[in-house]
Amino acid sequence: MNYISISLYRKMINHALAEGMTRDKFFDLPTPIDSIASIQVVPADHFFELHEILDKELGPGFSVRIGQQMKMEDYGVLGLSWKTCSWAGEIFERSERYFKLLSNTYFFKVDRDIEISRIFLNREAYRRGIELSNEATFSAVVVVLRAITESDISPVEVSFKHAPPEKLDDYIRAFNCSIQFNQPHNYIAYKKEDLERRTAKADESINRFLVERVEEETRGVELSGNKIVNDVENLIRDALPSGIPGVEQIGQIMGMSRRTLTRRLSENGLTFRDLIKRAQEEVSKDLLKNSARSIAEIAFETGFSEQSAFSRAFKNWTNQSPAEFRKIQ
């Protein structure tokens, strides 16, 4: 059975209450309102049923309105990982890795054309609630991309496989673009240049590193090797949810060529691979000690594509399995 985070289920109920529904409407749900404080996930079909109930009670567009209310924090570990993306479209790469590793409730595929990138949501709608959930997902995509770029970017087209609702007002406000129904695929499309935009966090990091490089050149004083190492490790940690970053990627953010960055690390007796391993080990130990995240979630956050590969690597580092390490902390 597939499961959905309780935070998304709770968000829908809270927004429905804000729109005027009363609590008694939720007591007969398969996962009732009084139980949500004590659980972490709900069966996916319970989630889809809630979508169907709210669509009937609050009218067409509730799914799109709830999507507009979503925050990155509502998506748990995945949402937190979006905050450290370097460019806007990276959220889809992280989402694809996350769902392959932890869930099969979504499947994103990005098709990049010369000018337009289409993000396909391949999730067959065997019931109306999935169609509504797809609408909410695309509506939330708009909000998340605007948040991480701190810009007012909008999609250029949204396509749904299902029939249109009676009213499109909420859809037009949310997407601000052409909206097509009864189409072969579910997708949301953006200008390629918009998905290649640097995120606000990445811009801040790049500006800081470039200023440091200018100071090095103008003052003739090199930054200490320890600071370079610390900067590289921090950037690696941010990049790991997208998979293991390359030295070129990190060097680009720091305003250094691969050769220069490799040389500066070598002066400290380190290789880029040393720092990857060190960052993975430190992040995983910290999360095992200080969070309740699952082993699979920690594998995602440390750049592994499979939980088994993470467990093998962790045992090589510590001579303990992740579960054994967590148990004795």
Same domain as 72, residue 185: yes
Same domain as 240, residue 274: yes
Domain ends where: 195, 219, 242?
A: 195
- Evaluate whether residue 184 is within a structural domain: yes
Model confidence, pTM: 0.88
Number of domains in the chain: 2
- Evaluate whether residue 290 is within a structural domain: yes
- Evaluate whether residue 15 is within a structural domain: no
- Evaluate whether residue 171 is within a structural domain: yes
Same domain as 68, residue 134: yes
- Evaluate whether residue 31 is within a structural domain: no
Domain ends where: 146, 180, 195?
A: 195
Same domain as 234, residue 125: no
Choice between 224 and 84, residue whose per-residue pLDDT is larger? 84
Is the pLDDT reported for residue 44 higher than 60?
yes
Same domain as 174, residue 68: yes
Task: Give 148's contacts (C-beta < 8 A, 6+ positions apart).
Answer: 72, 82, 83, 85, 88, 91, 199, 200, 201
Residue-wise pLDDT for 281-294, tens only, equals 999 999 999 999 99
Same domain as 150, residue 118: yes
Check which CATH number belongs to the domain holding 306 and give it: 1.10.10.60
What's the mean per-residue pLDDT of the chain? 91
Q: What is the pLDDT of residue 91?
A: 95
Q: What is the pLDDT of residue 203?
A: 78
Same domain as 164, residue 141: yes
Is the pLDDT reported for residue 25 higher than 90?
no
- Evaluate whether residue 37 is within a structural domain: no
- Evaluate whether residue 33 is within a structural domain: no
Q: What is the pLDDT of residue 219?
A: 66
Same domain as 245, residue 140: no
Which residue shows structure tokens 């970053």?
Answer: 245
Cβ 297 vs Cβ 77: under 8 Å? yes
Q: What is the pLDDT of residue 105?
A: 66
User: Long-range contact list for 321-328, CB < 8 A, 24+ apart?
Assistant: 322/284, 322/288, 322/295, 322/298, 323/295, 325/285, 325/288, 326/288, 326/289
Is the pLDDT reported for residue 264 higher than 70?
yes
Same domain as 139, residue 205: no
> pLDDT band for position 100 (50/70/90)?
confident
For the ranges 29-43, 85-99, 102-116, the maximum mean pLDDT occurs at 85-99
- Evaluate whether residue 25 is within a structural domain: no
Is the pLDDT reported for residue 53 higher than 90?
yes
CA distances, 261 to each of 66, 217, 239, 264, 280 (Å): 45, 15, 17, 5, 20
Same domain as 264, residue 164: no
Q: What is the pLDDT of residue 313?
A: 96
Same domain as 189, residue 212: no
How far apart (Å, rounded) are the C-alpha atoms in residues 77 and 80?
Answer: 5
Domain ends where: 129, 160, 195?
A: 195
Same domain as 272, residue 309: yes
Q: What is the pLDDT of residue 109?
A: 86
Domain span at residue 96 reads 60-195
Of 275, 270, 288, 277, nearest to 329 by C-alpha is 288
Q: What is the pLDDT of residue 216?
A: 66
